[in-house]
């Protein structure tokens, strides 16, 4: 499966661990999970650059859609 590299920014270590577990369980290698304690500042930075910040539920839904071929 050819997936472009991308980053999920998460707000705390519990979400970071769970997101990494989900990515590994789907066998996806080219996704970076990055904890960002300054998520508010990161949101503004990403918004200006046209990126999106996801919560854990959005990450899970995205990965399920990706693996199932709905994306």
Gap between the Cα atoms of 59 and 69, Å rounded: 15
Is 20 among the domain residues? yes
Residue 54 belongs to some domain of the structure: yes
- Of the chain, the percentage scoring pLDDT greater than 90 comes to 0
Q: Which stretch of 1-5, 20-24, 34-38 has the lowest confidence by average pLDDT?
A: 1-5
Which pLDDT band holds residue 3 (cuts at 50, 70, 90)?
low
Predicted confidence at residue 5, as pLDDT, reads 65
User: pTM score, two decimals?
Assistant: 0.52
11 in any annotated domain:
yes
**Is residue 60 a part of any domain in this protein?**
yes
* Range of the structural domain that residue 46 is part of: 6-68
Number of domains in the chain: 1
Residue 64 has pLDDT above 80, yes or no: yes
Q: From CA 58, how far away is CA 71, in angstroms rounded?
A: 14
Tell me whether residue 1 is in a domain.
no
């Amino acid at each position: 499966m050819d997936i472009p590299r991308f980053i999920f920014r998460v707000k705390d270590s519990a979400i970071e661990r769970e997101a990494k577990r989900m990515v590994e369980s789907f066998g996806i290698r080219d996704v970076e999970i990055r904890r960002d304690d300054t998520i508010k500042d990161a949101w503004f930075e990403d918004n200006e650059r046209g990126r999106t910040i996801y919560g854990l539920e959005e990450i899970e839904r995205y990965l399920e859609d990706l693996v199932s071929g709905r994306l």
